[in-house]
Structures are given as C-alpha cells and as structure tokens.
A and B are shown apart, each in its own frame.
Chain A
Amino acid sequence: MKFFYQLKLDAILLPVIALLICLGGWALIAGHGKTTVSVDDWGDKVTKTERFGLSKNLPSPAETWTASKPYIVEPFAKRGELDQGILRFAWLSLKLVAQGYAIALLLGTPIGFFLGLSKNFTRAFDPIIQILRPVSPLAWLPLGMVLFSGLKVVDSTGRTTFGTSDAAALFTIAICAMWPTVLNTAVGVRAVPQDYLNVAKVLKLSKPKTLFKILIPSALPYMFTGFRLSLGIAWLVIVAVEMLIGKPGVGGFLWQQYNANSYAHIILSILTIGFIGYILDRMMSLIEGRFRSA
C-alpha cells in the first residue's frame, strides 16, 4: 500500500478505474448489432442487421471507435465540406470562437471599466445587464440574423466570404461570452485599493497614466478570471450556433451526423468538444495563475 502511494499510482490508477467504469456502463446500455445472412426465395443473399439492447441505437464503444477512426487517424483530411478530419472541424470552430471571443473582450473590458469606475453608470446599466445576461445563445441567434440580414461580403470570384449567418454567429458568441468579462472587470476595478489610487493622486498621475499604471495592473487578475469564464462560454455557444446555422465545424458536424443517422460520430464530436474545452480552460488557468501571483 505504501509503495502504491509512493509511486503516486493512485493519481493515474484512480482516473483509469473511473474511466473503465464509465466505459462499462456505456457498453452495458449501448445496443449491439446482429447480422444474419439468409438466402431468399430468388436465391439471392440477403444480409439483415438487427439491433438489440437497452438503448438499441446507441453505438457501443467499439462501434464508435471503428466509425470514428477515419476522422481521428487523418485529423486534417478534407473530403468534403461536411466530411473533414475532426481536428480540421475543431480548427474551423476555434477560428470562429477566436473572432467572437475577441469581440467579446474588446467590448466587455471597457464596459467593465465604466461599471467599475462610475456608480451612476452601474446604477443605469446594471438592470439591463442582469436581464440580458441569462439569455440563451439560441435566443440571440435569430436576432443576429435579423440584425445583419442582407449583409454580404463577396470576394473576386463571386463567392460570399462573410454573410448574414457568419455575422449572426459572431454576434451571438460575442454577446453571450461578454458578461463574465464585464462583471469581473467591474469587480476588479472596484477592488483596486484606495492606497494605490492615493499614490496616483499624490504624484498627480494623468488619467491615462492612472489607468495604465495603476488600474489595469491592479484589476488584471480579476479580468483574467473573467476572460477564462468568457472563453468557456464562447466554446459552449459555438456548438449551438453551428448546429443552428449549419456551418462546418464540430457543432455542425455533430448535427449533420445526427441527421445522417451516424450516431457514433455524435459521440466523437461530444468527446472532441469536451477535450478542446478542457484544454482551453487549462491554458487560460495557466495564464491566470501567472497574473494572480504577481
């Protein structure tokens, strides 16, 4: 037992055990196919697949792996608009997320600063923010479509490079992902110790200097917490948005595969979304931790 702890095996072994339990549970619920080959009255071979199990259509782990293999082994292949390697899909989604997230930060940070600095601004806008904050991305998307209807950026070949649905997608991601940044920045600005502001006052630092030398560095740890939460939300929203507008990406792939009765690929998409979300969160945590210790 002592040996077990010395090697820190528990840190590896316990998650593996948990994973096996989950896989076992999945395999238990999942259906399994049975293929029977018979010869019909015309002398032709007929193969008939029947599925059994608690949830008949849920693919088993093994079936999921077999069906997902081409997407994983060649993660960057492009066979068609909606038939691409899984990491290529993820890359498409990430690109969209990055754009929407950038807009969210560019809008959210200044709003957060205004909220943190001005009591009257807070009194005026806080009710609106509190009401808009819990609105689901699914509700924002149609509004985005209406807002940007008719928008079309066409390249030299006449192909639309940026249309209504792209604008609506960015709008939805930005407006949903903005709130944690807004609120955390506001908290961070309010939490700037009066002592630091007194130093600025005594030295007669100008407004911009106070902002860049005192307020921003002091509020940065809070701001990064907001940025991390915002990124998490942006990644949640992208899947919903892609499903609704049918854009190629992890979410779009998921919805298309559901419509194509290719259920194994749904599970592949879910796992991909989870993995990438986890990696994004870890990355932001690392950056956040660096600022927190400062």
Chain B
Amino acid sequence: MPPILELNGASKSFGLPHERTAILTDINLTVEEGDFVSIIGYSGSGKSTLINLISGLLKPDTGTAKMDGELITGPGPERGIVFQNYSLLPWLTVTENVRLAVDQIFPAMSENERADCAAKYIDMVKLTPASGKLPRELSGGMRQRVSVARTLAANPKVLLLDEPLSALDALTRATLQDEIADIWEKNRTTVIWITNDPDEALLVADRVIPLLPGRDGATLGAEMKVSMTRPRLRSELLHTTEFKALKLQLVNTLLDAKRDSNPTITKRLSAPDILPEDLSIKRIQFGKAEPRRRSKLEREELKIEAS
C-alpha cells in the first residue's frame, strides 16, 4: 500500500524566469497513515510553501507530490488545512462557518444531521456557548478553535496545520496545543503540523523534521523520532532528560543550518587617501586638478609650539 502522502524531489521557486528565488529544493517526505509529523523551521524558510505543495494550492516545479499513490492536482477537502490567520469568514457565525464545510462535504445528509454534525465539532473544540457569535467577537484562540472545528468537520484524511498557534500568546498556545493533541488522540487522523517552536514540535508530534535553510532553498533535514508516551504532560515532560536532549539536538541542527546558509565574505576596508584643503588659498597647479593625497606628499612639516 502506498504511503498516504509522499513528496519526491519536490522543489519550488518564485519570481520571474531570469531572477527566480529558490524556496524549496529536493524535498523528500513520506507520511504513513496515522502519523503525527511536525515540520519545524525558521520563519520565511518556506514552511507555508511546503504545506501549500501538500495541500495542492501550489504545484511543485520539479518532483512530485502524491497522496495515496496518486498525483496531487489541486486542493481538496481530503487534505484539510488550518491556516495561520484562521481564515474564518467574518460575516458568518461560528456555526455558519463550520456549516459551510459540513454542507459542502455531506450534501447527502439531512438538515438535522448536518446541524448535529456541526454542533459535534463545535463541542469538540469547546465553543458551544459561543456558537452564535461572529468571529470578530471572539479572541484569537477561540477563532483558531473555530478554524480547527471547520477543518475537522470536513472529515479530512490528512490534517495540515500551518503554524496554527503562532499568532497566539504563550498561555493560549499551550492550552490549544494540548487540546489539539487530545483531539488527535481520539481521531488518529494523519497530521502535519508546521511550527517554528521547538517545544511545540516535540510536545505534539511523533516525528519532528527540521526544514533547513540552504543557499538554493530550504530542504528537509534528518528526522527525529519522539517516542515519549502519550498523553504527554507538559509540566513533567519539559524536565525530562529525553526531552532536553531532543530539544538541544533540534535547536543545534537548525542553528548550524542557518550558519551554513549565510555566506561570509571578507572585505578589506580602506579609508580614502585625501587631505583637507584650505580653499581660501589659491593653489598653483598645472594640468588636471587633483586632490591632495597623503601618499603623494613629498614633505610634511609639523610646527609645534611649546607654550
């Protein structure tokens, strides 16, 4: 059976043909059903581009992106995305936002069934009391929960999370990390979670893959397996030696890659060889006027007056 997701030598660059900037090169990734993968990288290193390749919003320039052994030709509900900036429709209430997905994916269901389905997912993200509210009446964390509910309601085979929590404060972030991990425990869908936070990556995922910047675009580094048992308790886990070792290794990998990707050029600095002139004194000069240069001085007189 082919893996649920497979990227083979995928690369992507942007810009006009003669001045293209390579974003991703030679991305190879295999995700099996039920995997919880976290991809970690610097901001601007092409993480969102990578998730867009997987979702089908972008096509790779070279290489292939396959799902269940078939080429990904465009976006589809079987690969649900939770966007970084929530992407809720501001004129729809929480329920209506979730219903948008439910109505589209389950047209065969009756009205009541669809309402129940939406309510189930809203309850899953603990937003039932706010179900009639508009997104602007909710906090950032609540909005992201709605986005998660909407994506889950489409019953995706793969759940893609594009830095879902990076716009939130640290406390809300921690709560939501735990909650999404809990939901995953119950559903066990395949998850690809993109993040820029090493703690987050190690806490939630089974496989952590760094996206390393390089001179010709970023590429995936060596995978780290996180075998810590679930449910992972943040308070205990953060102090275990295993976690600390993994975090150190991960951070070092990322830092090394960053160092390598910044080319160093040594330049010799030289001050201009020019002397100040008194413009009130007319200089007698033949030929082309040139500034006075220290290197061309034949004799320098220094008068020192002792007082």
Contacts and interface: CB of A to CB of B under 8 A. Distances in A.
Interface of A: 193, 195-196, 198-199, 201-205, 209, 213-214, 217-218, 220, 294
Instruction: Give the interface centre of A199, A202, A204 by most chain B CB atoms within 10 Å.
Output: A202
Contacts of A195: 83, 85, 87
B2 interface: no
Interface stretch (B36-44, B70-78, B119-127, B246-254): B70-78
Contacts of B87: 193, 195-196, 198-199
Interface string B109-142: 0000000000000000000000000100000000
B76 A204 contact: yes
Contact of B100 (A201, A203, A218, A220): A203
B69 interface: no
B79 interface: yes
Contacts of B75: 198, 201-202, 204
Contacts, number: 50
Nearest to B92: A217
B77 A198 contact: no
A202 B89 contact: no
B303 to A, nearest CB: 73
Given A195-B85, A213-B100, A202 B90 contact: no
B218 interface: no
B89 A217 contact: yes
B168 to A, nearest CB: 17
Nearest to B86: A195
B123 to A, nearest CB: 21
Given A198-B81, A214-B89, 16 more contacts: A193-B87, A195-B85, A196-B89, A198-B57, A198-B75, A198-B83, A201-B75, A202-B76, A202-B79, A202-B80, A203-B105, A203-B154, A205-B104, A218-B89, A294-B90, A294-B134
Nearest to A214: B89
Nearest to B76: A204
A18 B74 CA distance: 64
A293 to B, nearest CB: 9
A199 B105 CA distance: 13
Q: Is the interface of A mostly helix, strand, loop or mixed?
A: helix
A195 B90 CA distance: 12
B57 A201 contact: yes
B147 to A, nearest CB: 9
Contacts of A196: 87, 89
A201 B74 contact: yes
Given A198-B57, A198-B75, A198-B83, A203 B89 contact: no
Interface residues of B, number: 21
Contacts of B11: none
Contact of A202 (B55, B85, B91, B134): B55
A204 B100 contact: no
Contacts of B89: 196, 199, 213-214, 217-218
B101 interface: yes
Nearest to A213: B100
Task: State the 4 A-B residue pairs at the shortest beta-carbon distance, nearest first.
Answer: A195-B87, A201-B75, A202-B75, A217-B91
Contacts of B134: 294
A195 B89 CA distance: 9
18 contacts: A196-B89, A198-B57, A198-B83, A199-B83, A199-B87, A199-B89, A199-B100, A201-B75, A202-B55, A202-B76, A202-B81, A203-B101, A203-B105, A203-B154, A204-B104, A213-B89, A214-B89, A218-B91
Contacts of B101: 203
Contacts of A193: 87
A203 B100 CA distance: 9
A196 B88 CA distance: 7
Contacts of B81: 198, 202
A213 B297 CA distance: 81
B197 to A, nearest CB: 22
Interface string B255-289: 00000000000000000000000000000000000
B77 A204 contact: yes
B55 to A, nearest CB: 7
Contacts of B104: 203-205, 209
Instruction: Give the interface centre of A213, A218, A220 by most chain B CB atoms within 10 Å.
Output: A213
Contacts of A294: 90-91, 134
B29 to A, nearest CB: 20
A204 B156 CA distance: 13
Contact of B77 (A202, A209, A213, A220): A202
B91 A203 contact: no
